[in-house]
Amino acid sequence: MASRRRTLLKVIILGDSGVGKTSLMNQYVNKKFSNQYKATIGADFLTKEVQFDDRLFTLQIWDTAGQERFQSLGVAFYRGADCCVLVNDVNSMKSFDNLNNWREEFLIQASPSDPDNFPFVLLGNKVDVDGGNSRVVIFITHSTF
């Protein structure tokens, strides 16, 4: 059987502190969720092997601190990224309003070769909190981002 070559893809997760970036990464990679909040200091990453069609990919998923004081770490972590996931808490309009700042800062720090076509994923998190009754950001808001 011929060996298949893996493609490494660097994925950066960005958003305000407390929106659930670490929980998303841990749930996706390890299928584990914890209700205990522990702020990320600096950055951390996990890897996940995925297959799409007949190709193998290693996703190197970087979870960054949401506090502004750690944004200066951006250049080292953002460079070479293949995709950026922008996360907001659907129960916090401020976290949604800040997404454009995260996007712009990422583009400045990462300096992708084609910034107009760089792939961003917008992800509204915490839809399960309070049975959805606290939600202030709705799908229509996300689709107009």
Coil, strand or helix: which one is 14?
strand
Three-state helix/strand/coil letters over 36-49? CCCCCCCEEEEEEE
How many other CB atoms sit within 10 Å of the CB of residue 76? Answer: 11
Tens digits of residue pLDDT in 27-66: 999 888 767 666 665 677 889 999 989 899 999 999 876 6
Structural domains of the chain, with CATH: 6-32+41-143 (3.40.50.300)
What is the pTM assigned to this prediction? 0.82
